[in-house]
Amino acid sequence: MEKKVVKTENISFKCKEIPLTRRELKNLFNFHIPCPCCGMEMLHPDIYTELLGNPILSECASDVIPLLQQFEYIMHPVERQVFNMFKSLAVKYPNKNFQELLLMKKDVHELALVKIQSSIFNKISFYRRILPKKTARALRKLIIKTNDIIFDPEPHKPFSRRIFIHKLKSICKNIENKKIREEIIKIARRLPRSSDEVCAFVVKNARKSSRIIALNLIHPSVGTFEHLQPKCMNGENNSLNFALECTYCNNSRHHFPLTVQIEENPFMPENAQIQMDKLISLYKKGLCKREYIENLKNMFYYHSEGIIDLDISRL
């Protein structure tokens, strides 16, 4: 389903004062808080900041792996698979860095990625048979140009999933049949991302430095403040509007309604409850405030249109 931005009004519940400062909220990441969207445990952002300047990240893989080993348990699935691949390769090639190891695997993974991409492009091309001529020609032109990019071993500019979907939306906006329009965009969203497929991660990151590759294994897990009501829709920039969420899920949502995020992450209501239970246990230890928990419940309920109805009876 194509994402639609729905503007909402500023919401105010019983809690008028800011329940937690940014420092107090960030402190909660010290207590193994799970992301309410994906359920993965989040890394304290200060720990990630300390890693940014560590010179070891640019060294050979055999030196970097022991440093990252302590964070393996919080890595997202694709990043963990890539890290395990590095561990295996480092045994055979201890003097190579992360970029050199990825370049060794790039051709194989690029072929796998192109197979997935071309299959999706073929499914999109099928709709040319039932589209108006002008729209069909525009779609054909986009697919041909895109195929030229993915089948070129050294394209002038690498394929961008985001740009492709943006151009496809521009073409599809002229399609009167809403169902067909949504079907085409839905198929396009199946294009692999570096966070979804190992092959996409390898191809995308093989162009980057060893230091950036190492950081990208951890970055999706870093804890952030998610604006439940986006800032572009006049959402508050304090804990009245903040949920603790990992970088990956925060970035994936962009400025779209919370209901869209739930559609793409069907286990979000359950994961949000797990986080809430953790916050309640911290409240009982004097580490979190009741007002924050009550306000968070109300905000989730409102912005999810009642889908996320958190139980705080243990509070």
Residue 273: which CATH number?
1.10.30
Residues 180 and 229 in one domain: no
Q: Answer yes or no: is pLDDT of 247 > 70.
A: yes
Compute CA distances 150 → 105, 115, 202, whole Å. Answer: 17, 10, 15
Please identify, among 188, 214, 240, the residue that sits at the C-terminal boundary of a domain: 188
Considering its fold, how many domains does the chain have in total?
A: 2
* Residue 293 covered by a domain: yes
Q: Answer yes or no: is pLDDT of 10 > 60.
A: no
Residues 176 and 248 in one domain: no
* Residue 310 covered by a domain: no
Residues 251 and 181 in one domain: no
Report, as an integer, the average pLDDT of 73-93: 97
Q: Answer yes or no: is pLDDT of 124 > 60.
A: yes
* Residue 95 covered by a domain: no
Residues 116 and 163 in one domain: yes
Structure confidence at residue 6 as a pLDDT band (50, 70, 90): very low
Structure confidence at residue 16 as a pLDDT band (50, 70, 90): low
* Residue 100 covered by a domain: no
Residues 226 and 182 in one domain: no
Non-local CB neighbours of 198 within 8 Å, separated by 6+ positions: 78, 81, 82, 85, 109
Residues 235 and 182 in one domain: no
pTM: 0.85
CA distance 121 to 118: 5
What is the token pair recorded at 245?
A: 């969420």
- Output the pLDDT for position 245: 98
Between residues 256 and 205, the one the model is more confident about: 205
Structure confidence at residue 153 as a pLDDT band (50, 70, 90): confident
* Residue 102 covered by a domain: no
Q: How many CA atoms lie within 13 A of 276 on its CB side?
A: 25
Strands (DSSP E) along the chain, which ranges?
A: 223-227, 242-246
pLDDT in tens, 183-214: 999 999 999 989 889 999 999 999 999 999 99
Residues 231 and 170 in one domain: no
Domain holding 298, by residue range, is 22-42+222-303
- Count of Cβ atoms closer than 10 Å to residue 244 Cβ: 23
Report, as an integer, the average pLDDT of 248-262: 89
- Count of Cβ atoms closer than 10 Å to residue 33 Cβ: 21
Residues 175 and 226 in one domain: no
Structure confidence at residue 2 as a pLDDT band (50, 70, 90): very low
List 222's β-bridge partners, or say none.
43
Report, as an integer, the average pLDDT of 38-43: 96
* Residue 200 covered by a domain: no
Q: Is 239 helix (H, G, I), strand (E, B) or coil?
A: coil
Residues 246 and 298 in one domain: yes
Q: Answer yes or no: is pLDDT of 11 > 80.
A: no
What are the two backbone dihedrals, phi and then psi, of residue 222, each rounded to the nearest 5 degrees?
-70, 135
pLDDT in tens, 162-176: 899 999 999 999 899
* Residue 52 covered by a domain: no
Q: Is 293 helix (H, G, I), strand (E, B) or coil?
A: helix
- Output the pLDDT for position 299: 96
* Residue 313 covered by a domain: no
Residues 122 and 176 in one domain: yes
